[in-house]
Amino acid sequence: MVSAEPLRTLSAEQVVTELASDDFDPSAVAHGVTTYRLVYRTVDARGKPTTASGLLALPRSNDRRLRTVSFAHGTELYRGDAPSVADDVWASAPALTYASAGFAAAAPDYLGLGVGPGPHPWKHVPSETTASLDMLRAARQFAPQTRRTLAREVMVTGFSQGASAALGLARALQEGADRYFRLEAVAPISGAYDFRGAELPALLHSDDLFPKAKVIYLSYLLVSWNRLYGLYERPSEVFKAPYHRTIEDLFDGEHPAQEVLEGTPDDLGGLLTKRAVKMLEHPTGPLTEAMRVDFGVCTDWTPRVPVRLYLVGDDVEAVVANSAHCQAALAARGVEVPIIDLGTGGHENSNRLGTAEIVRWFSELR
């Protein structure tokens, strides 16, 4: 751990008010909460030393030994919207929910978000995994300064981008990546697990998703995965003018979401070249490898703990086929995983609905 900065101390009543202000369910609140920003050492997407940050939320309870929930957040374009630095309820609400229910809640910002250096490697499960694991280690190191210790048991959850990150962390914990922590349960929400078989076809061809959302997701994907896997040599190969000159800089984590929205076209027709469309419709080479790594959280391990996949039936951003494909991949390895349908309300609302259900489930596992 590099540093720990106290952020806020909230009474139970204040937590209830804050959660309810953004339509998060406050019914599990039993304690007040104190939050901290941790900065810690980890590795970047190339395995080189770097730092990252995250939010740690602890209950104001008499318990000296706390079980931990790791929550991995959804897609953010701007480093200032990550859990440890954002000033809105959305970013911290899941951590507040779990901490106020009696858990230690660790919410990594990921690489390149929060106060960590560099651009964020979006949809890169390996670095999301190491950032999440090292956040747990930093939380364990810091906890004694609050006269607490973290128990070995860890429950893992996450939303959207964080759903895959959660499965990546769960896989690493089960495989013994840390000598101390032990995986107890996994509960991802609304993940885009299968980009090749489910998410990418929807982004390219579905009429249900707002055209601007398609532009943002595919721009982020191409820019991020090009940095990691080398999908193109020049932006002009995949992005039309004039965006080929500016789009990589827009997705550097330094631009607020509104600037990114204003700096991108309104639909894919104004964004992608014919070459880009062909590459996305018929993936080969590095793109195929990137998608294999991404979907590996469902295909290349056999969970030995309870797993539940959460979704809403009307999600047009992380389409429900993703969860069905993940469920089928796990079933092929002999693991029966239920899909918990939270009803309707859209992608973002699944985070609210799922958090409410998951905190109750995790509490039952005590």
Both 20 and 85 in one domain: the answer is yes
Report the alpha-carbon distance of residue 271 to residue 241 in Å, rounded: 8
Proportion of the chain above pLDDT 70, given as a percent: 100
- pTM of the predicted model, to two decimals? 0.98
Claim to verify: residue 122 and residue 185 sit in the same structural domain: yes
User: Rounded to 10 degrees, what is the CA torsion of 305, 310, 316, 321?
Assistant: 50
CB neighbourhood size of 332 (10 A): 11
Domain identity same for 201 and 120: no
* Pairing mode of beta strands 49-60, 32-43: antiparallel
Length of the chain: 366
| Integer CA distances (angstroms), 223 to 121, 220, 272, in order | 9, 5, 12
Give percent of the chain with pLDDT exceeding 90: 100
CA dihedral 183, 108, 136, 157 (to 10 degrees): -20
DSSP state of 143: G
Domain of 227, CATH number, reads: 1.10.260.160
Where are the alpha helices (H) located in the chain, listed in sequence order? 12-21, 89-100, 125-142, 161-174, 200-205, 211-229, 247-250, 257-262, 274-281, 285-299, 321-331, 347-364
Same structural domain, 132 and 208: no
pLDDT value, residue 302: 98
pLDDT one-digit tens code per residue, 75-132: 999 999 999 999 999 999 999 999 999 999 999 999 999 999 999 999 999 999 999 9
Q: What is the pLDDT of residue 93?
A: 98
Asked if residue 202 and residue 165 are part of one domain, the reply reads no
The answer to whether residues 51 and 2 touch, using CB atoms and an 8 Å cutoff, is yes
Query: Which amino acid is present at 272?
Result: L
**Concatenated DSSP letters of 186-205:** EEEES----IIIIIHHHHHH
Same structural domain, 282 and 353: no
Q: Could you tell me the pLDDT band of residue 297, with boundaries at 50, 70 and 90?
A: very high
Q: Which of these, 309, 303, 306, lies nearest to 365 by C-alpha position?
A: 306
Element (H, E) at 40: strand 32-43
* Nearest Cα residue to 254 out of 101, 154, 112, 122: 112
Please report how the helices 321-331 and 285-299 are oriented relative to each other, as an axis angle in degrees rounded to 10: 70
Tokens 């047009």 belong to residue:
316
Please tell me the total count of domains within the chain. 2
What is the pLDDT confidence band of residue 366, given thresholds at 50, 70 and 90? confident
Q: Is 61 helix (H, G, I), strand (E, B) or coil?
A: coil
For residue 154, what are the CA distances in angstroms to 69, 127, 151, 363? Answer: 6, 19, 8, 12
180 and 227 assigned to the same domain: no
Compute the mean pLDDT over every residue in the chain, rounded to the nearest whole number: 98
| DSSP conformation letters of 215-257 | HHHHHHHHHHHHHHH---SSGGGTB-TTGGGTHHHHTSS-S-H
- Helix, coil or strand: residue 26: coil
Q: How many Å is the Cα radius of gyration of the chain?
A: 19
Cα–Cα distance measured from residue 287 to residue 343, given in angstroms and rounded to the nearest whole number: 34
- Domain-terminating residue out of 258, 277, 292: 292
Confidence of residue 164 (pLDDT cuts 50, 70, 90): very high
Domain extent at residue 36: 3-194+295-364
248, 267, 292 — which closes off a domain? Answer: 292
Predicted local distance difference test score (pLDDT) of residue 323: 98
Please state the rounded mean pLDDT for residues 121-148. Answer: 98
Tokens of 59: 């209950």
Residues 319 and 220 grouped into a single domain: no
Domain end (from 273, 292, 311): 292
Please indicate, yes or no, whether residues 174 and 72 belong to a single structural domain of this protein.
yes
Query: 176-200 pLDDT, tens per residue?
Result: 999 999 999 999 999 999 999 999 9
> Residues 24, 138: one domain?
yes
- 343 and 280 in a common domain: no
Q: Which two tokens stand for residue 14?
A: 């204040």
> What average pLDDT score do residues 308-315 get?
98
| 108 and 159 housed in the same domain | yes
CATH classification at residue 76: 3.40.50.1820
